[in-house]
Amino acid sequence: MFQTVISEDEIFKTHLTGRGHPESPSRFKIAKDALKLRGLLSPTNRVAPRLATSAELMLCHTQDYIQTVQENMLACVKCGREDGSFTLSTGDVQICSASDQVARYAVGAVLGSIDAIMLGQALNAFCLVRPPGHHACSDKGMGFCIYNNVSIGARYLIQKYGIERVLIVDWDVHHGNGTQEIFYQDPSVFYFSTHNKHIYPGTGFSNERGAGLGLGYTLNFPLEGNLGTRTALLEIFNHSLREAMKIYKPQFVLISAGFDAHEWDPLGGFNLTTEDFRELTSITKGIAFEYAEGRLLSVLEGGYSLRALEEVIPAHVGVLQESD
């Protein structure tokens, strides 16, 4: 068994978003190169992603939305805009004709990594994928996201493997409105988010706690972007997350691993250091060991400073690879 497997593929560079867009293929390249340089990624611990089927996408997305994405791909080809300057009709997502296929591979990377963990081939995994996913709602893409990679993974765990309690930890600086929407009434998934309260998408208030059977299974911590953010966020993970999980006792842990809360990120407005992300990883990994037999899958979300990604992603994966 591997401690950590990594799912990645050069296809993730073929989703084009246009000149100057922060969610660019360079994010993938610099992170992959950094992992290889530090000996964290090799042919032996790599899991090749597969193409997710429409049926798998429909674990979280409507058939109409999936059809809309496919129609957008055809429109993109018809108008000849292959440089990423075409915008998905449902929201602020730049696409090219390859984007649907690439997004399906991002989902497939998550599902294949889950299989590796559940079949005992690895203890945990990291998916180096793009486009990100946590803003994608059941019926629309937005915020650079087409399909909700992590949410589909959670439903896959529940339906294929009979997992009853999944924890999603989302430390991206932007609130994962899509993930929250998908599971807002579902007690089988606990959604935990820390995020900047003043920026996109304007959701994730502390009184958003779930509804119906899902009431109490959404836990949001909207934070100010100031000098006290680091201390507050780390305290939330050390206390609030740990205390909530004493009651919930997750059987599998998923991380929406956005790194735009890093102090070097141009979009986030937070001031976390690389060492802080090591600590967040360690805390979350500890929860996985305490309640979920160590089963943990981390999936790349945001993070738009190439300098930060080059440093923080190897740090994150390095903690995952440490044997306990």
pLDDT of the residue at 110: 99
In 10 A of CB 39, how many CB atoms? 10
Tell me the average pLDDT across 13-23: 96
Q: What mean pLDDT is reported for the chain? A: 97
Of the candidates 247, 268, 249, the one whose C-alpha atom is nearest the C-alpha of residue 259 is: 268
Spatial distance between the Cα atoms of 279 and 285, rounded to a whole number of angstroms: 10
Q: How far apart are CA 73 and CA 77, in angstroms?
A: 6
Element (H, E) at 170: strand 166-170
Averaged pLDDT, 117-144 = 98
pLDDT at 226: 75
**Is the pLDDT reported for residue 227 higher than 90?**
no
- Residue 261: the pLDDT is 97
Residue 81 pLDDT class (50, 70, 90 cuts): confident
What would the pLDDT profile of 278-302 be if each residue is shown by its tens digit? 999 999 999 999 999 999 999 999 9
pLDDT band of 150, cuts 50, 70, 90: very high
Question: For residue 324, is pLDDT > 90?
Answer: no
Arithmetic mean of pLDDT, 292-317: 99
Domains of the chain: 4-321 (3.40.800.20)
Q: Which two tokens stand for residue 154?
A: 């959670």
- The mean per-residue pLDDT over the stretch 239-267 comes to 98
**Tell me, what's the pLDDT at 164?**
99
Of 105, 168, 181, which Cα lies nearest the Cα of 141? 181
Angle of helix 99-118 versus helix 149-161 axis, rounded to 10: 40
Element (H or E) spanning 94, and its range?
strand 94-95
Determine the pLDDT at residue 78.
Answer: 87
Active site residues: 135
Residue 59 confidence (pLDDT) above 80 = yes
**Rounded distance, CA 140 to CA 264, Å?**
30
The one-letter code for the residue type at 79 is C
Q: What is the pLDDT of residue 201?
A: 98
What's 228's DSSP letter?
Answer: T
Percentage of the chain beyond pLDDT 90 is 93
Is the pLDDT confidence value at 132 over 80?
yes
Question: What digits encode the pLDDT tens for the residues 90-103?
Answer: 889 999 999 999 99
CA distance 259 to 172: 6
